[in-house]
Each structure stands twice: as structure tokens, then as C-alpha cells.
Amino acid sequence: MTGLSAFLLSALMLVPALLIAIPVHEMGHAAAAYFQGDRSVRYFGYFTLNPRRFLEPIGVIAVFVALVGWGRRVPVQPNRISTTRQRLVHILGGPAANLLVAIAFGLILRVLHAIGIHESPTLTTGVLAYLVYAIVFLNLSLFAFQLLPIPGLDGWDVLDTIFRSRNPRFFFNASVRRREIWAGAFAVYFIGQFIGIPVLGIVMTPFYQPASLISVGECIGYGVPRFNALYPCLL
């Protein structure tokens, strides 16, 4: 297979992977809200795995550029999801859903490996294993990426929920400066890419590596030849 064919196939595998991983993440938030009494998520059409309900253009582009991503947030009723415990369950519902899907598809990948089918970018039965591998990876990637403590991600929302009452000014200022924080994060990422330091892989490793070991028994990564790669397996 030529370099161009490998590039196209590796990129193509990300399409079904993101059509699963992003809706699963947002559906995890919706389900966590629904089972805690917020029926509005179902009434407004968020209790679904329809990708069109959850896909967000920039979040989809991020999947192909940086192998991480996000979707449209599921709004909830504050009067229904009001206590600290309820908010934490709602926030962690998305990453938990990605982890569960990664474990489920990880079992399928282990079975394929056990019967001698391994992921391959050639047009053989290895493509099936390649697809399952991509699905496992992207769900692990969203799980770990969303747990980072950056405003707008689930990890930040966890900190906000637990600590805002102790230092409201800090969290307010961070919220107001969210764009500047993201601009700085993008700058650090691209500078790291330019000088050969995998910044994203480093910061995701504490969440990604144990989740990958649980899912498939080893720490895996993913790469699109001659374009990008993400291997959060540095510990």
C-alpha cells in the first residue's frame, strides 16, 4: 500500500470512530442527567445517539488535526441537577460512557487478535481490526482529553463544581478569559509539535494510559502517516 493510500485509510477510519465516540460522550452526559431526574434532555431530543444532534464542526476538525475532539453540550435544568453530587455525576457521565465503549470494543479487538486478525492498513480482514482499533483509541482519547483541567472541558467542570465556593473569583476570571486560555493552549500544542515535544500526549497520559490498559491490556496510540500521531503512553 502506498503512502497516500495508508494516509487516506487511516484518516477514513476516524470517521466511523468519531460518529461513535462524540455522540456517546454527549449521550453519557444526557443519560446521567436523565437518570437523576432531568427529563428535559429527552424532551429536547438529546436522549439519542443520532450524530447530527451532537457533532460540532470545530470539534470534528480537531479529531483529524489533533486526534481529540468534542461535541455540542447537552443543556440541563439547574433546578434538577443542583447538588454537588448530581453535578459531578452529570459531568463524569460523558467520560464514563467513552470508557465503557472503549472497554466493550477493546474486548472485540482482543477476540480478533486471539483468532489471528490484527489491524492492518491493507484491504484485508485486517481492516475490520483497524476500524475497531480506531474506535477504541478515539473513545480513550475523548475520555482522557475531556478530563483535562481546561475551561470548557469536563475536567475543569469537576474542579469548578468542587472548589468554586472556596475561590469564586478565580473560577469567574478563568471563565471570562476562556478564549485566551484556549489560545494559549493551542499555541503550546503547536509549538510542541514544531519542536518535537508531544505536549498533548504528555498531559493526557495520566488518564489515558490506565484506561487503555484496562480496555485492551496495553497502551495504544494512533497515527495518520505523514500528518499526525498521538501516543499518550509516556509513563
Amino acid 115 reads I
Percent of the chain with pLDDT over 90: 73
Amino acid 131 reads L
Under a CB-based contact definition with an 8 Å cutoff, are residues 200 and 150 in contact?
no
Q: How confident is the model at residue 195 (pLDDT cuts 50, 70, 90)?
A: very high
Under a CB-based contact definition with an 8 Å cutoff, are residues 68 and 198 in contact?
no
The rounded distance, in Å, linking the Cα atoms of 67 and 189 is 12
Indicate the length of the chain as a whole number.
Answer: 235
Q: How confident is the model at residue 92 (pLDDT cuts 50, 70, 90)?
A: very high
Q: Encode pLDDT of 98-124 as tens digits.
A: 999 999 999 999 999 999 888 876 667
State the burial class of residue 140 (Cβ atoms within 10 Å of its Cβ: 0-12, 13-18, 19+).
buried
pTM: 0.94
Mean pLDDT of the chain: 91
| pLDDT at site 182 | 94
Q: How confident is the model at residue 55 (pLDDT cuts 50, 70, 90)?
A: very high
- Most confident range, picked from 130-134, 175-179, 231-235: 130-134
What is the 8-class DSSP label of residue 71?
B
Backbone angles phi, psi at 124, to 5 degrees: -135, -170
Catalytic residues: 26
Q: How confident is the model at residue 76 (pLDDT cuts 50, 70, 90)?
A: confident
Amino acid 177 reads R
| pLDDT at site 2 | 64
pLDDT above 90 for 212: yes
The rounded distance, in Å, linking the Cα atoms of 108 and 211 is 16
Q: Is 177 helix (H, G, I), strand (E, B) or coil?
A: coil
What burial letters (b/e) apply to 186-222, b meaning 16+ CB within 10 Å? eeebeeeeeeeebebbebbbebbbebbeebbeebbbb
Amino acid 172 reads F
| pLDDT at site 48 | 75
- DSSP states of 37-62: T-THHHHTT-SS--HHHHB-HHHHHH
CA angle 149/225/130 to nearest 5° reads: 80
- Per-residue pLDDT, averaged over 197-206, amounts to 96
pLDDT above 60 for 1: no
The rounded distance, in Å, linking the Cα atoms of 206 and 178 is 24
State the burial class of residue 120 (Cβ atoms within 10 Å of its Cβ: 0-12, 13-18, 19+).
middle
Q: Is 45 left (phi over 0), alpha (psi -120 to 50) or beta?
A: left
| pLDDT at site 67 | 96
* Least confident segment among 33-37, 123-127, 144-148: 123-127
pLDDT above 80 for 47: no
